């Protein structure tokens, strides 16, 4: 069994301090661009399911499984989908009728959700299947892409297609009501957003190899926006720009599992999770504010497989800039 060393090879003894470092969050598709201010998928949404009433539109995929189309469950138009009160492992499936290259054609799955009942330990999963009902890629937990699962409130949920790690063409989209019986949800305006060269983007920090661990001591998010009569305690432009939420999470690359996440989409969410620190008002009227997360010692360890990342799913151009950094202590484990 190897002993632990610092980055320069010095053996760590009791009380020895780890070598400190700092790294910015960089885009995973090119490895160089820092967290930017325009992460929205720019293509036009294509309707997957939007109800079949007079006020609805689109060539809907065929719905089956638990639930039914009702007027009372609509977000917009005429009808939505009411899952009803579900039993454990019930499913709702939307079938395209033929295979579709979702990974190569679309960037984002988005839909409107209103939870009506979500018992403790419940999991709402979504995944893509082939024509024979085999899972293609990975299931994703819907609650990992929301700020919360507040009952009786509509919210738009946005999942990057890249998170599904699709390995083939797909024919069906399936929601699965897991772990606990008694879930109940309304769904509407289920769409795929076409690729158009922009977002959603993922910005990531990972340790360089299996022998290196980063013990996170602090994460800093720095944003600036034009000041228009508001102060740093309000910072209203953040609310304007985060309709889908700025998602920070720790995730395993090998299987895509989210270990923990914070999704901030308004001031209450942001200030409830990030601690505001120094603010600067520039001569041009821009206001810059830093936000900080400082976890307990050794509570967040970043490896070459368990990465820390921001996911930007909104057009943040109401902000002048947005940057994020992680501060850490480096631990090296000998092979």
Backbone angles phi, psi at 316, to 5 degrees: -100, 25
- Cβ-in-10-Å burial (0-12, 13-18, 19+) of 195 comes to middle
* Helix, strand and coil percent figures for the chain, each rounded to 5: 5, 50, 45
Q: Work out the angle at residue 187's Cα, subtended by the Cα atoms of residues 186 and 189, and round it to the nearest 5 degrees.
A: 145
Q: Work out the angle at residue 153's Cα, subtended by the Cα atoms of residues 152 and 154, and round it to the nearest 5 degrees.
A: 125
Q: Are 92 and 172 in contact (CB under 8 A)?
A: no
* Per-residue confidence in pLDDT tens, the chain, 335 aa: 455 555 555 555 434 568 899 999 999 877 788 888 788 776 788 999 999 998 898 778 999 999 999 999 999 999 999 999 999 999 999 999 999 999 999 999 999 999 999 999 999 999 999 999 999 999 999 999 998 899 999 999 999 999 999 999 999 999 999 999 999 999 999 999 987 666 788 999 999 999 999 999 999 998 888 876 666 666 667 777 788 888 999 999 888 889 999 998 887 787 788 888 878 888 888 888 888 998 877 789 999 999 999 999 888 888 888 899 999 999 888 76
Give the model's pLDDT for residue 160. 93
| Cβ contacts of 97 within 8 Å, gap of 6 or more | 61, 62, 171
Distances (CA, A) of 163 to 147, 258, 313: 18, 10, 13
> What pLDDT digit, counting tens, does each position of 13-47 carry?
434 568 899 999 999 877 788 888 788 776 788 99
> What pLDDT digit, counting tens, does each position of 219-264 carry?
999 888 887 666 666 666 777 778 888 899 999 988 888 999 999 8
* Residue the block writes with tokens 């919210």: 155
What are the tokens at 129?
């299947």
Model's pTM, two decimal places? Answer: 0.85
64 alpha carbon, distance to own chain's centre:
27
CA distance 33 to 31: 6
- Structural domains of the chain ordered from first start: 4-40+199-333 (2.60.120), 45-194 (2.60.120.260)
CA distance 124 to 251: 18
Give the model's pLDDT for residue 57. 83
Give the model's pLDDT for residue 110. 94
Q: Are 314 and 37 in contact (CB under 8 A)?
A: no
- Helix (H) or strand (E) segment spanning residue 246: strand 246-252
Give the model's pLDDT for residue 132. 97
| Cβ contacts of 132 within 8 Å, gap of 6 or more | none
């Amino acid at each position: 069994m190897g002993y632990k060393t610092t980055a320069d090879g010095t053996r760590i003894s009791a009380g020895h301090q780890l070598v400190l470092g700092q790294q910015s969050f960089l885009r995973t598709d090119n490895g160089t661009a820092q967290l930017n201010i325009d992460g929205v998928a720019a293509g036009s949404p294509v309707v997957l399911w939007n109800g079949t009433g007079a006020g609805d539109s689109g060539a809907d995929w065929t719905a089956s499984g638990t639930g039914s189309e009702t007027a009372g469950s609509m977000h917009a138009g005429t009808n939505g989908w009411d899952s009803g009160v579900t039993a454990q492992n019930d499913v709702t499936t939307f079938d395209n009728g033929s295979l579709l290259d979702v990974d190569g054609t679309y960037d984002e799955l988005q839909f409107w959700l209103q939870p009506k009942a979500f018992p403790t330990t419940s999991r709402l999963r979504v995944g893509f299947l082939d024509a024979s009902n085999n899972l293609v890629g990975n299931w994703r937990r819907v609650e990992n892409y929301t700020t919360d699962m507040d009952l009786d409130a509509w919210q738009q949920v946005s999942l990057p297609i890249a998170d599904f790690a699709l390995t083939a063409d797909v024919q069906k989209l399936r929601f699965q009501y897991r772990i606990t019986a008694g879930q109940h949800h309304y769904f509407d305006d289920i769409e795929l957003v076409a690729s158009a060269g922009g977002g959603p983007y993922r910005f990531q920090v990972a340790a360089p190899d299996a022998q290196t661990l980063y013990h996170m001591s602090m994460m800093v998010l720095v944003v600036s926006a034009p000041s228009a009569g508001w102060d740093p305690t309000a910072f209203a432009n953040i609310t304007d720009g985060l309709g889908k939420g700025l998602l920070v999470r720790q995730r395993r690359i090998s299987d895509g599992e989210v270990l923990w996440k914070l999704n901030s989409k308004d001031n209450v969410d942001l200030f409830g999770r990030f601690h505001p620190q120094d603010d600067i008002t520039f001569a041009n009227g821009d206001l810059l504010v830093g936000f900080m997360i400082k976890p307990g010692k050794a509570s967040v360890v970043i490896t070459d497989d368990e990465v820390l990342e921001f996911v930007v799913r909104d057009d943040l151009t109401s902000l002048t800039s947005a940057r994020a950094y992680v501060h850490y202590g480096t631990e090296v484990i000998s092979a």
